[in-house]
Amino acid sequence: MENEVFKVTGGSRLSGQVHVPGAKNSALKLMTASLLAAGTTQLENVPDIADVEIMAELLTRLGAQVNRDISNSTLEIKVPENIGHRADYDLVRRMRASINVLGPILARCHEVDVALPGGDEIGSRGVDMHIAGLTKMGAEFNSDHGYLIARAPKGLHGARIWLDIPSVGATENILTAAVLAKGETVIENAAREPEIVDLCLMLNKMGAQISGIGTNTISIIGVTKLTATTHEVVGDRIVAGTWAVAAAITQGEVTVTGVNPTHLQIPLEKLMSAGAQIEIANDSFTVRMTQRPNPVEIVTLPYPGFPTDLQPQFIVLNSIANGAAMVTENLFEARFRFTQELARLGADLQIDGHHCLVKGRLQLSAAPVEATDVRAGAALVLAGLIADGVTVVSGVSHIDRGYANFVSNLTSLGATIERTRESI
Ligand code: UD1
């Protein structure tokens, strides 16, 4: 059997400029939001990543016609008057963000069947807030043969919804349902990630009436109809943050363009504490590092706190720092699973619940490792950049889910990396 791998030879200093595409976590939600209006939605600055393909397939099965032009990063989605209402398991299991069709389909069709992502049951931790919010708006939920089934025969109505924690997915599903509901919905303790702001901006262009955008209280006055629009996806702050860490750990100098640096305020401050010099411009920033990093304490929190999606990359930074630091993961405990792989590269890591104590080593030591999720995968490639020898990262399909042209971008910055096939 053959397996695609990245072979990374450590020791290069990264320098140059890299452009980040639109954010995965925005593009996917904007794609689902296109279902809210019959007509042609045009998305620009869409990243060339595997998850966009999966979402395009899902929309196609729902009756939309999706045309992707990779050469100019655009996506045209033609949505018919009547759309399907079922999201199949084979797609949902490949991409959890498929759950984001829940709000738009329920709003348009008043019925939706979405396969539950693996391990989830009705009312379980993963989607309980989505269900509670939509139930308050008049939907009735059941689960049947692995599918979450929602019906709102009388349509949805506005409601006051308090989220226990500011969940990104729950905020988005409630928002996309509320835009076509009768009356006013208020989401309190809403998530306010830049990708949610992007979604609200597109919805308002479509004719929605959303206020409180970017705050933790969002109010939505439902309208009867939305109109398809054109929208440019916000730059990917997580990809940008990944390049920033890559520059810092290789003691390089990299300018990252295509992102709003204010979306990365805390991670960039952490890099400064690690010893990096950062220059900020309007839609770009430069990271320059000339020393071994200082250790930096990290606590992940909903935006504007430190993003959990950059936690693995900062563990890599701490693994070669000149001291020890604690990294606390408050959103997804499973995110520490990748540390077992990082330990194979010689990193000194002690896990205790949702804390990881990282003791910096002078250098990591190359070994074969396996990517288990998109951010862990990127972090393991970064670790390979600072390991002695050739690190072979398998499971690259995870990295393809979120990073467009990862290898060619790294190569253009001076890294030695190739994508190849290996027998296993
Ligand atoms: C999104 C992002 C993901 C990011 C995360 C947090 C996408 C496709 N994914 O995921 O990259 O890491 O935000 O910034 O945009 N929770 C519940 N009940 C719910 C919903 C969530 O308990 O009903 C819990 C989750 O298990 C998790 C926490 O809340 O522990 C945060 O989840 P959430 O903000 O919803 O993340 P996602 O939208 O899944």
End-to-end Cα distance, the chain? 6
Give the pLDDT confidence score for residue 93 in this predicted structure: 86
DSSP 347: -
Contact yes or no for 110/153 (Cβ under 8 A): yes
Write out residues with Cβ below 6 Å of ligand 1.
Answer: 25, 28, 97, 125-130, 165, 167-170, 191, 308-309, 331-332
Beta bridge partners of 87: 114
The residue nearest atom 16 of ligand 1, judged by CA position, is 126
Over pLDDT 90: what percentage of the chain? 91
Give the pLDDT confidence score for residue 123 in this predicted structure: 41
H helices of 84-155, in order, are: 89-92, 102-109, 128-136
The residue nearest atom 33 of ligand 1, judged by CA position, is 167
Question: CB count, 10 Å around CB of 63?
Answer: 15
**pLDDT, tens digit, for every residue of 263-303?**
999 999 999 999 999 999 999 999 999 999 999 999 999 99
Give the pLDDT confidence score for residue 388 in this predicted structure: 96
Please state, rounded to an integer, the average pLDDT across all residues of the chain. Answer: 95
Instruction: Report helix, strand or coil for 244.
Output: helix
Annotation marks residue 120 as catalytic = yes
Give the pLDDT confidence score for residue 332 in this predicted structure: 87
In the numeric block, which tokens belong to residue 250?
Answer: 């290789």
Using CA atoms in the order 291, 295, 298, 303, what is the torsion angle rounded to 10 degrees? -20
Strands 284-288 and 253-257 come out as: antiparallel
Give the pLDDT confidence score for residue 357 in this predicted structure: 98
What the chain holds in terms of domains, given with CATH numbers, is 2-20+236-423 (3.65.10.10), 24-232 (3.65.10.10)
Give the pLDDT confidence score for residue 422 in this predicted structure: 82
Q: How far, in Å, from the CA of 26 to the mean position of ligand 1?
A: 14
Q: How far, in Å, from the CA of 363 to the mean position of ligand 1?
A: 34
**pLDDT, tens digit, for every residue of 398-418?**
999 999 999 999 999 999 999
In the numeric block, which tokens belong to residue 396?
Answer: 């690259």
Strands 140-144 and 147-151 come out as: antiparallel
Catalytically annotated residue among 113, 120, 236, 309: 120
* pLDDT above 90 (res 322): yes
- Which atom in ligand 1 lies closest to the alpha carbon of residue 132? 23
Q: How far, in Å, from the CA of 423 to the mean position of ligand 1?
A: 36
